[in-house]
Amino acid sequence: MILLALQDIRKSFGTHEVLKRVSFTLQERERMGLVGVNGSGKSTLMKIIAGEETADEGSVNLQKGLRIGYLAQQGELSGQETVQEVVERVFDPLVRMEEEMRSLENEMALHGSDEAALKRLGSRYDALTREFERQNGYGWRSRVTGVLKGLKLWDTREMETSRLSGGERTRLCLGRMLLSEPDLLLLDEPTNHLDLKSIAWLENFLNDYKGAVLVISHDRYFLDHVCGRMAELILGTVETYTGNYTEYVAKRAEVYEVRMKAWELQQQEIARQEAVIAMYRRFNREKSLRLARSREKRLEKIERLEKPQEEGTVRFRFDTRRQTGEDVLQAEGLEKAFGQRILFRDVKMHLRAGDRVALIGDNGTGKTTLLRCLTGEEKPDGGRIRWGTGVDIGYYDQHQAGLHENKTVLDEVWDRFPRMEQYEVRGALGLFLFTGDDVFAPVSTLSGGEKGRVALTELMLRKDNVLLLDEPTNHLDMDSREVLEDALEDYPGTILAVSHDRYFINRFAEKVFVLEEGGIREYLGNYDSYFEKVSRDAEPDAETAGMTRTALDREKRRSREETQRLKEKKEQLKRAEEAIAKAEREAAELEAVLADPETYRDPAAAAEKTKQYNRLKETIDALYAEWETISE
């Protein structure tokens, strides 16, 4: 049964037409993902469905009595209630029903000998009991507990809402809406402010949900696991596809190719017909002119296909200026606390050349702080950080704090690379969709996604061989995320990236580091293999489970190289120690000779022995220095 039907929705803001002829339907229990580039009108369309915006034209048809849950509709929290009181208020009707049932039980006990009263009270009690059970009245408290724990609000359940952070308030409103169980859930970026465990919980919750779901999300992994249908807003219209996000991407590419081929064939036919018409007219005879007019009429009746268009996407690649040594980073015993709050301690980390590592962990474990410690922007409270030889560090800050708000986009990039010509800087910015007068826009006026693209432009131009990335996919639309993944796939350097984007992690990572208060746990493979291991409550495989063949071959090669390097190092140490022992024996023999008074009867021989001894001492000092270098 159709719950929602949109027909020819149009919406403009001034002269900018955001939505044009948007039409689609949503069925009962259907889960549809709504995607499109930033600024394509997804949130505007969601608000029109929820009734918060009105369409300029078209109609929104809802099933009679349909109850809609929209996160932005939840309103402001009073600030005086506790977290638990807020979510429990959803069940006030059940609480009142239970209170009436207890009251009826007391009344029936008082009227034990009045059959008429007992019949009347019993009838009401039976009806209430059946309704109470139908609404799961005996299980609502456990549902509240499950939602609070799933959204990481259990530890704050006794806290007044006025003391919550912005992210906690958003999660609380989401939890309250989920517990209210509307017929249609409208979710605009529901995974924001959730850590990976909470997102996985939300996926399971929505998969078991009895109502329909329309969700806007940049989390492609989430869309893959929740949605069975996708709707793409492109150039003001909607195209729908059956399947999850991955299936939609493949089908969209196929549809685009078919449409482009059909358009190209039609253009070829039109050009051929126009050439024939032109030839007939050159003959300038009555018959040829008649044939020309006939063909022109047929050509006018052809329904012209529109050339398929795609929204602009960034296109770039990362490169390096030089190679690093095999050991890129060695960190031991790192710890960091703010006051009494310990973020992490005893963190040990070893990155080798070419490693591709995702750093994950619960919110508040200090992932960003750890990256800032590695870059030197924060000072750890303890531990040691050693970067290898030839390391050039490129850092992507998710908040783009390094950008200068008072500069234009062009000056922001050009001032960092003054040796480049203006056309070179503009060319680089063009790869990130800053064209024409866009480059003269002040940085302060840019959206989060646009600032992210400026930061990526600078990172691309630096050509560093080690990339530390803090949530690099935040604010990027899906197409841009995929281009970023393609660029990182071809990157020859080393990557350590903090991310909640599991699709992104699956694309680039060959190892997963999980940051906890007591240190880091390492897992080989991408996010899926990590999740499989923790779901089985198994210890991480110490060898190769979950790795791709390429990653496995690379890890085996590194293992062989490491074994060979340790073997050579051991042999070098042995040779150095033998050389030191031999030189010290010779020095001891010369010391005995020089200590003998008879040596000085021949002054020339004594002088030569002294020179030999001094040269030998220098050799011994050099051998010890070599031994220290090898043993490091």
Q: How far apart are CA 320 and CA 462, in angstroms?
A: 8
The 3-state secondary structure of 544-593 reads: CCCCCHHHHHHHHHHHHHHHHHHHHHHHHHHHHHHHHHHHHHHHHHHHHH
Q: How far apart are CA 580 and CA 509, in angstroms?
A: 46
Question: Which residues does 264 contact at the CB level (< 8 Å), separation at least 6?
Answer: none
Average pLDDT of the residues in 578-586: 79
Q: How confident is the model at residue 387 (pLDDT cuts 50, 70, 90)?
A: very high
Average pLDDT of the residues in 198-207: 91
Question: What confidence tens digit (pLDDT) does each residue in 47-57 have?
Answer: 999 999 999 99
Residues in the chain: 632
Confidence check: pLDDT of 539 > 50: no
Q: How confident is the model at residue 566 (pLDDT cuts 50, 70, 90)?
A: low
Average pLDDT of the residues in 510-521: 92
Average pLDDT of the residues in 455-479: 90
Q: How far apart are CA 405 and CA 444, in angstroms?
A: 5
Please give the helix or strand (H or E) that residue 220 lies within, else none: helix 220-226
- Structure confidence at residue 601 (pLDDT): 73
Q: How far apart are CA 589 and CA 613, in angstroms?
A: 9
Lowest mean pLDDT among 424-438, 468-482, 591-605: 591-605
Bigger pLDDT: 255 vs 467: 467
Q: Choose from 219-223, 252-256, 516-520, 570-574 the range with maximum mean pLDDT.
A: 219-223
Lowest mean pLDDT among 232-236, 510-514, 622-626: 622-626
Report DSSP state, residue 1. -
- Structure confidence at residue 540 (pLDDT): 39
Q: How confident is the model at residue 541 (pLDDT cuts 50, 70, 90)?
A: very low
Average pLDDT of the residues in 468-474: 92
Q: What is the mean pLDDT of the chain?
A: 86
Q: How confident is the model at residue 538 (pLDDT cuts 50, 70, 90)?
A: very low
Q: How many CA atoms lie within 13 A of 437 on its CB side?
A: 0
The residue ranges of DSSP E strands in 284-408, in sequence order, are: 327-338, 341-352, 356-360, 382-387, 393-396
Question: What confidence tens digit (pLDDT) does each residue in 330-364 have?
Answer: 999 999 998 888 899 999 999 999 999 999 998 88
With contact defined as beta carbons under 8 Å apart, do 594 and 610 qualify?
yes
Q: How far apart are CA 385 and CA 97, in angstroms?
A: 62
Pairing verdict, β 327-338 and 382-387: antiparallel
Lowest mean pLDDT among 70-74, 194-198, 519-523, 614-618: 70-74
What angle in degrees, to the nearest 10, is found between the helix axes of 166-180 and 140-150?
A: 150
Lowest mean pLDDT among 267-281, 414-428, 476-490: 476-490
Q: How confident is the model at residue 75 (pLDDT cuts 50, 70, 90)?
A: low
Lowest mean pLDDT among 299-303, 332-336, 345-349, 581-585: 581-585
Question: Which residues does 560 contact at the CB level (< 8 Å), separation at least 6?
Answer: none
- Structure confidence at residue 561 (pLDDT): 65
First-to-last alpha carbon distance for the chain, in angstroms, is 71
Lowest mean pLDDT among 192-206, 389-403, 520-534, 553-567: 553-567
Q: How confident is the model at residue 593 (pLDDT cuts 50, 70, 90)?
A: confident
Estimate to the nearest angstrom the gap between the alpha carbon of 290 and the chain centroid: 64
